Amino acid sequence: MLTKRIIPCLDIKNGRTVKGINFVDLRDAGDPVELAEIYAREGADELVFLDISATEEKRRTLADLVYHVAEKVNIPFTVGGGISSVEDVDVLLHNGADKVSINSSAVKNPQLINDLVAKFGSQCIVVAIDAKVIDGEWIVHLVGGKVPTEIKLFDWAKEVEERGAGEILFTSMNHDGTKNGFANEALAKLSSELNIPIIASGGAGNMQHFTDTFIKGKADAALAASVFHFKEIEINDLKKELRSKGIPVRL
Amino acid sequence: MRIVIINYGAGNIQSIKFAFKRLGYDALLTDDVEEIKNADKVIFPGVGEASSAMKMLRQSGLDTLIPQLKQPVLGICLGMQLMCNSSEEGDTKGLGIFDCDVVRFSNKVKVPQIGWNAITALKTNLFKDIVKTEYIYMVHSYYAPLCKETIATAEYGIPYSAALAKDNFYGVQFHPEKSSTVGEQILKNFLQL
């Protein structure tokens, strides 16, 4: 039986791990390769590296980081942040990334999804969607959730699936950083309307939130950062708790 | 021990190289026929689309070489699927080593399957020393149904082949190089075959 995945997310700036609270306040949480190895040992099912640096050297730094992570870590990992071309993806996959995640670049140029899928296959293309409720409607946002678009979440998610993406990473800007739980209603709707895996992101504060997002939110995987980085939740304890609630996990 | 990874343009081969490095072996990435023939162990990787991968194998003549190999060969993911008779993906013929036809998962389950699944009904020394229920990492939209060559079973809507074996040929649908310590054990077992 396929198990539900627990995915720590490592925000990367200039080769170091950071976690943005509401994407603004940043705190250093260490060396990404070392942290990745620890998470792999502790039972994380996958890792996501999100590069938030915007320097000229970014591409090379990120490719180097990917290479060093792939060298040491024996679980799959996804890399995202500012990826906007087939060449970007080619470099990251060749350095050892298992999947890449694209966000704003897909909204600006949806054909990019088709191009990436044609070249590399659905299985390694994750589309990340940041959305926020505006006047009762879920609206897609760009640039780390700062800039609203006119696009509705569920329309975009459907299009992303039709263009061949293998997975959707959905972050609720209303929940991110609040530690009040995931956006389970929207997640459940995504999961029932689409036929690709959905990763829940934004809002993890305690173990019950994970249970809820798998049961009520019908999520296939749950992503979180600070609760893991600051040891508020141990992955092994979390998985034991989930199993005790009847949720299939790898232990 | 000479380990080669067949290079025919398939993606993410770096991870397989690194997995052997973590076990203390240097695997050579090559498309050289002599290097492949003379290796002790051959890895046949594959990420991507079946019909275009078969096209690349035909162009380089590897499609005739691989089925003739005598040493242990391990196909991984698409590599395993290409070792079957055919694949529904791009409606292509395969290498015909395993007597089964690869088909797409039905839409009753989410496709692709992504994540950790349990493997059961383990056979052969490829799974030596794996005693309890273990989980391995799978990413795929197409699968090999259960057949007489099945040596491990996984379940996703229906039971299917997580691994196949015939003579010196082995194939795993999952990614041992990404399956934590269990995956490392399976790679170690393969090197001991």
pLDDT at A16: 82
Distance CA B5, CA A161 (A): 33
* B137 contacts in chain A (CB < 8 Å): 75-76
Predicted pLDDT at A226: 87
Average pLDDT, whole number, for chain A? 91
Residue-number span of the structural domain to which A63 is assigned:
5-244
Q: Is residue A17 part of a domain?
A: yes
Query: Comparing C-alpha atoms, which of B121, B102, B36, B120 is closest to residue B73?
Result: B36
Name the burial class of residue A25, with classes exposed (0-12), middle (13-18) and buried (19+) by CB atoms within 10 angstroms of its CB.
exposed
Catalytic residues of A: 11, 130
* DSSP H or E run through A26: strand A25-30
Domain definitions of chain B by residue range: 3-191
Å between B51 CA and nearest CA of chain A: 12
Residue A96 lies in a domain: yes
**A199 located within any domain:** yes
Nearest CA to CA, how far is B156 from chain A (Å)? 6
> Distance of alpha carbon A219 from its chain centroid, rounded?
13
Domain membership flag for residue A76: yes
Q: Is the dihedral angle over the CA atoms A50, A53, A56, A57 positive or is it negative? A: negative
Q: Is B58 on the interface with A (CB under 8 A)?
A: no
d(CA A166, CA A231): 31
Q: Which residues in chain A are closer than 8 Å to B118, comparing Cβ atoms?
A: 1, 3
Residues lower than pLDDT 50 in chain B:
none
pLDDT at A26: 41
Token reading at A210: 């994970």
Per CB-CB distance under 8 Å, the chain B contacts of A166 are 112, 114, 139
pLDDT in tens, B2-19: 999 999 876 678 899 999
Domain count of chain A?
1
pLDDT band at A19 (very low <50, low <70, confident <90, very high): low
Q: A98 vs B15: CB contact, 8 Å cut-off?
A: yes
Cα A213 to Cα A201: distance, rounded to the nearest angstrom: 10
Q: Which CATH architecture has domain B3-191?
A: 3-Layer(aba) Sandwich (3.40)
Tokens of B152: 């491990």
Q: In 3-state terms, what secondary structure has residue B95? A: coil
Q: Which residues of B touch A74 (CB under 8 A)?
A: 19, 22, 177-181, 183-184
Rounded to an integer, what distance in angstroms lies between the CA atom of residue A52 and that of residue A22?
13
Reduced to 3 states (helix: H, G, I; strand: E, B; else coil), residue A237 is helix
Per-residue pLDDT tens digits for A130-182 = 999 999 999 999 987 788 999 999 999 999 999 999 999 999 999 998 999 99
Mean pLDDT for the stretch of residues A25-35: 66
Residue A99: both structure tokens together? 């999947």
The CATH number of the domain holding residue A21 is 3.20.20.70
What token pair was written down for A200? 């829940």
Residue A217 has φ and ψ, to the nearest 5°, of -85, -5
End-to-end CA gap in chain A: 13
Q: Is B14 on the interface with A (CB under 8 A)?
A: yes
Task: Count CB-CB contacts under 10 A for residue A80.
Answer: 24
Are A49 and A17 in contact, with CB atoms under 8 Å apart? no
Does B115 reach chain A within 8 Å, measured CB to CB? yes
Q: What angle separates helix A32-42 from helix A58-72, to the nearest 10 degrees?
A: 30
Q: What is the ipTM of this complex?
A: 0.93
The residue in chain B having the minimum alpha-carbon distance to the alpha carbon of residue A161 is: B111
The whole-number pLDDT of residue A216 equals 98
B153 part of contact set with chain A, CB < 8 Å? no
The predicted structure's pLDDT at residue A13: 86
Confidence of residue A18 (pLDDT cuts 50, 70, 90): confident
Mean pLDDT is highest, among A23-27, A91-95, B120-124, for B120-124
- Please judge whether A93 and B180 are an interchain contact, meaning their C-beta atoms are less than 8 angstroms apart: no
Mean pLDDT of A89-100: 93
Residue A250 placed within a domain: no
Alpha-carbon gap: B29 to the closest alpha carbon of chain A (Å): 13
Residue A189: CB partners within 8 Å, gap ≥ 6? Answer: A154
Nearest residue in A to B184, CA atom = A74
Residue A17 belongs to what H/E stretch? strand A16-21
Strands B3-6 and B84-87: unpaired
